[in-house]
Amino acid sequence: MIIEGSPTFGLQMWMETLDENGSTVCYEHLERCPHLEAARKYGLPAPCDILCDLDCKLSAKYKLGAWERVSHLPSGDTECCFKITPWHDKL
């Protein structure tokens, strides 16, 4: 199943759900990040620590899911991609 994100605020994002080893896993694909574009325009550091990494940490803190970064726009990849595994699979 593929879910397309809203283009509000200029994000180009979509998610897919896959069955991997009997568990449902989500992949969040971010192809355009206006936050990164603004940071680059004004010579600021990439906003990943503040925005995306915080999502990952809060999701783990509240046991909503485990996020793993698969690819990263600031590292030269064509998208940021996160693999999101249900928290109960991490027990």
**Tens digits of residue pLDDT in 12-25:** 888 999 999 888 99
10: in domain:
no
53: in domain:
yes
Structural domains in the chain (count) = 1
For 65, the domain range is 47-78+87-91
Could you tell me the CA-to-CA distances from 64 to 8, 14, 70 in Å, in that order? 24, 19, 19
% pLDDT > 90, the chain: 53
4: in domain:
no
66: in domain:
yes
69: in domain:
yes
19: in domain:
no
Q: What pLDDT digit, counting tens, does each position of 19-56 carry?
A: 998 889 999 999 989 899 999 999 999 999 888 888 88
58: in domain:
yes
Helix (H, G, I), strand (E, B) or coil at 6: coil
pTM of this structure: 0.81
- What average pLDDT score do residues 64-68 get? 91
